[in-house]
Amino acid sequence: MNLSDLASNFRLHNFIRASAVTEDELESFIARIHPNDLPHEKIVSCVNQLYDLSNEQSIPIQEVPNYIQQKLEEKQKIDQEVKEASDILKNKSVSIEAINEHIKLREKLNEHDLCTQDIDKLLNLLNNARECEFDSRIICSIYSSKGQLTYKKYT
């Protein structure tokens, strides 16, 4: 050891004595962080971040674990709310699809001067034709081959 190393170790020793940390506590801390294969500069950076978090949030350093636990619980609650909102949006999406299909149906009926109230009448007409042994598909193809299905409203 040279004089510079000795001075550095002496300063570190005095710092540890002044901080009231026992050698056992310090060794225990070093033993816990050493197997994690974290680079030493990363450990120092993490401890500094912990200290900064404590100062920024005005939390005593010993309360930081409780603060982190509280934030994790809040995150879980938010994640659950996001999942519930996503489920609601999926249901809304199905509703929007049904509305869009209804709009397309109304547009198609309007092309033939029909309205949604006429659907039952049209179905009754096709069912009656079927009961009279007319093939409803043939009737529809005849009307569609002539161009448009014409319909006049009688009052």
pTM exceeds 0.85: no
**Mean of all residue pLDDT scores within the chain:** 79
Assess if residue 53 is contained within a domain.
Answer: yes
Question: Do the domain assignments include residue 146?
Answer: yes
Has residue 49 been placed in a domain? yes
pLDDT of residue 78 exceeding 90: yes
Domain limits for position 133: 113-155
95 inside domain: no
- Across 87-96, 98-107, 144-153, least confident range: 144-153
- The verdict on residue 69 lying in a domain is no
| 134 token code pair | 């007319």
The residue among 47, 63, 79 that closes a domain is 63
Please indicate whether residue 144 or residue 70 has the higher confidence score (pLDDT): 70
In a domain, 125, yes or no: yes
116 Cα distance to chain centroid: 38
Annotate the chain with DSSP letters as a single string: --HHHHHHHHHHHHHHHHTT--HHHHHHHHHHHGGGT--HHHHHHHHHHHHHHHHHTT--GGGHHHHHHHHHHHHHHHHHHHHHHHHHHHHHHHHHHHHHHHHHHHHHHHHTT--TTHHHHHHHHHHHHHHTT--HHHHHHHHHHTSS-------
> What is the C-alpha to C-alpha distance for residues 26 and 86, in angstroms, rounded to an integer?
48
**The total number of structural domains that make up the chain:** 2
Q: Measured between alpha carbons, how far is 115 from 90 in angstroms, rounded to an integer?
A: 30
Does residue 58 fall inside a structural domain? yes
Residue 14 has pLDDT above 70, yes or no: yes
Per-residue pLDDT tens over the stretch 84-93: 988 887 777 7
**pLDDT above 50 (res 129):** yes
Round to whole Å and give the CA distance between 137 and 130. 9
The CA–CA distances, whole Å, from 85 to 76, 79, 92, 126 equal 14, 10, 10, 44
User: Does the residue 119 lie in any domain?
Assistant: yes
